[in-house]
Amino acid sequence: MTNLVMPSLVYFAAACLAPLIPHARLRAVLLLGVPVLAAATFFSATYGTSHILPLFDTHLKIFRLDALSYVFALVFSLAAFLSLLYAAHIRDRLEQVSTLIYAGSAIGAVFAGDLVTLFVFWEGTAIASVFLIWSRRTEGSYATGLRYITAQIASGLLLLIGIVLFYHDTGSVAFERMTLDSTATWCIFIAFGIKCAFPLLHNWLQDSYPAATLTGTVTLSAFTTKLAVYALARGFAGTEYLIYIGAVMTLFPVFFAAIENNLRRVLSYSLNNQLGFMVVGVGIGTPLALDGTVAHAFAHVIYKSLLFMSVGAVLYRTGTDKASELGGLWKSMPLTMVLCIVGAMSISAFPLFSGFIAKSLIVSASEPYLWVWFALMIASVGVLEHAGIKIPFSMFFGHRSAADAPKVEEAPLHMIIAMSFAAGLCIAIGVWPENLYAILPYPVDYVPYTTAHVVTQLQLLFFAILAFALLMRFGLYPLEYRSINLEFDWLYRRFLPRLVSRLAMRVTHAWRSLAGRTTAIATRILSYSPPANSASTGTMVLWIAILLGIVLCLAYL
């Protein structure tokens, strides 16, 4: 036991104390200190530090610091800081407390050295985060939150079952690399998969992120899925299934994103696609690929926050985040536009931006798998389409000229500061990649800025932009209109409920007619009337008699 304070405890303590501060401004400012304080506890600690807590007949390693957990904890701290800064205008204590608990749980989970601790924090992120959705306080957000929490709890339960089985099989709950050779590890794998939004398990993400408050979405986008990527990288690195799962994940959201009207949902699809890159990296499992995954997760958290923040700022000023209702805001929100474009260029992997130096690692590592490499290239074009072009274009230019656009103010100062901070980081990482490479788990001897690489990347991107421009010119680019798109969630939001209600109606009908007939017969024969009060002593005694009868019958058998 060292004298290191667990960083997650800093968040939890702050979550307990924060609501007691009466002044909203003061509270918002003080909260900014929390991620800094928490990061300070592990920032300069040596790798290998751990805490052991005895529980049951085993020992739990509730804190483990190594290269992998360090990077994730660092970027989570950054994300928590950005979210809190961006949300400085919020007075809702519930949302602040859940942000703190959510961030604290995510960081705690990253430091978990055993599965039980991981499970505790895993559920912590699930339960805390749902309040970011419910904080919107509409009926729709409540229903969405319920669907979200169901998926999250299902993941937690599967994890728990997996842990129990794993403990049963091996007698250990240590969280180390696993192989998919038993029910236990499959359960854990699928639990991770739900949180990582694997194809067909992904719907909770696109369903819920647009439903959160505008600040809540920024927070949500950073933690849950990246925690799952961390868990996969720790537990299932080199599992071949992941390569193909990841490849599918990079591709299919691209199509949905291209035709989605709600911009926060577009970003959610984009998030899913980006996770695909990381999952491919985990699946390949070579040091280069894992470094790529970690670097990509790091860069991704920052530019995805930036994009969500810019959409949030527009939503804050105009009251909508739907592409069909927006456009032409470049004149009234120029700063937001510039920052949004920085985020868009980062995610599209323009050279000198963070996406470029991170994604390249994964793409290079995927070269032995030809089709996967190909999928990643196409997906990169897709990223450019929906996140690089569609997001900034539909908000700031689009089908409206600046004259038609509603006259709104520039985003509030604290939002601009938060976005500038994120944008600065995007550029800094892109220009000086060696600082990020230095903290990755494996030594990196990769050079992103070769002439060939820069040129090919620019060719890919600019010809895609050219295609966009030409399609636009000839009116072939799909215009946005108010609509939603069916997705896999149609199954459980529409099909199954209808099916069940129909079946239930049938069964009720059948039962009623049967029961009606039986009662009629019984009444006629026995002139028996059912007791009015279901819990009358008569009924109770009847049950006793039945039960005693059964037991006695068995006794005579």
Partner 1 sequence: MPQFIAQHLPILQVIVPLIAAPFCALISVRNGAWWLAFVTSLVTFAISVLLFAATFDGEIISYHLGGWAPPIGIEYRVDMLNAFVLTIVSGTGVLTLLYARASVAHEVDAKQHGLFYTAFVLCLTGLLGVTITGDAFNVFVFLEISSLATYAIVASGAKTDRRALTAAYNYLIMGTIGATFFVIGLGLLYMITGTLNMADLAQRLLEHGDSRTLRMGYAFILVGLGLKLAMFPLHQWLPNAYTYAPSAVSAFLSATATKVAIYVLLRFLFSVFGFSIPFEADILFLVVLPLALAGSLIGAYIATYQDNLKRLLAYSSISQIGAMLIGVSMLSASGLMAAIIHLFNHAVTKASLYMVAGAYAKEAGTVSIRELRGVGRDMPFTTAAFVVGGMSLIGIPLTVGFISKWYLVEAALMRGWWPVVIVIVVSSLIALIYVGKFIEAAYMHPAPQGIIRREAPLTMLIPMWIFAGLSLFFGINSSLTSEAAARAAQGLVAASSLIWQ
Partner 2 sequence: MTNYITRSVLIVLGLICIGLAAVDLYVARHSSLGFDSIPFFYCVLGFIAYAALIFMAKALRRVISRPENYYGLQAIDSESEAKHD
Q: Is there binding between residue 455 and partner 2 (CB under 8 A)?
A: yes
- Binder of residue 140, out of partner 1, partner 2, none (CB less than 5 to 8 A by kind): partner 2
CA-angle at 291, arms to 289 and 297, nearest 5°: 100
- Binder of residue 4, out of partner 1, partner 2, none (CB less than 5 to 8 A by kind): none
Nearest to 52 by CA among 124, 112, 125, 120: 112
Among 77, 83, 98, 144, the residue binding partner 2 under the rule CB under 8 A is: 144
Fill in the per-residue mask, 395 to 424: x = in contact with partner 2 (CB under 8 A), - = not in contact: ------x-----------------------
- Binder of residue 471, out of partner 1, partner 2, none (CB less than 5 to 8 A by kind): partner 2
Among 9, 150, 477, 491, the residue binding partner 2 under the rule CB under 8 A is: 477
Fill in the per-residue mask, 67 to 106: x = in contact with partner 1 (CB under 8 A), - = not in contact: ---------------------------x------------
Nearer to partner 1, 116 or 279 (CB): 116
Please give the structure tokens belonging to residue 365. Answer: 């590592």
DSSP for 487-537 reads: -TTHIIIIIHHHHHHHHHHHHHHHHHHHHHHHHHHHHHHH-----SSTT-H
Among 119, 189, 252, 308, the residue binding partner 1 under the rule CB under 8 A is: 119
Nearer to partner 1, 168 or 502 (CB): 168
C-alpha 348/C-alpha 473 separation (Å) is 22
CB 319 within 8 A of CB 293: no
Please give the structure tokens belonging to residue 429. Answer: 């990482």
Nearest to 157 by CA among 204, 117, 207, 123: 123
DSSP annotation of 412 reads P
Return left, alpha or beta for 417; rule: phi > 0 is left, psi -120 to 50 is alpha, else beta: alpha
C-alpha 157/C-alpha 151 separation (Å) is 10
Fill in the per-residue mask, 56 to 95: x = in contact with partner 2 (CB under 8 A), - = not in contact: ----------------------------------x-x---
Q: Is there binding between residue 535 and partner 1 (CB under 8 A)?
A: yes
Shortest CB 122 distance to partner 1, Å? 10
Among 52, 67, 503, 547, the residue binding partner 1 under the rule CB under 8 A is: 547
- Binder of residue 468, out of partner 1, partner 2, none (CB less than 5 to 8 A by kind): partner 2
CB 411 within 8 A of CB 333: yes
C-alpha 296/C-alpha 250 separation (Å) is 14
Nearest to 423 by CA among 346, 359, 355, 360: 346
Shortest CB 100 distance to partner 1, Å? 17
DSSP annotation of 98 reads H
Among 86, 256, 350, 396, the residue binding partner 2 under the rule CB under 8 A is: 256
Q: Is there binding between residue 541 and partner 1 (CB under 8 A)?
A: yes
Please give the structure tokens belonging to residue 220. Answer: 């949500």
Please give the residue ranges that form the binding site for partner 2 (CB under 8 A).
90, 92, 136-141, 143-144, 210-211, 213-214, 254-256, 258-259, 262, 315-316, 319-320, 322, 367-368, 370, 373, 377-378, 381-382, 384-385, 401, 451-452, 455-469, 471, 473, 476-478, 482-487, 493-494
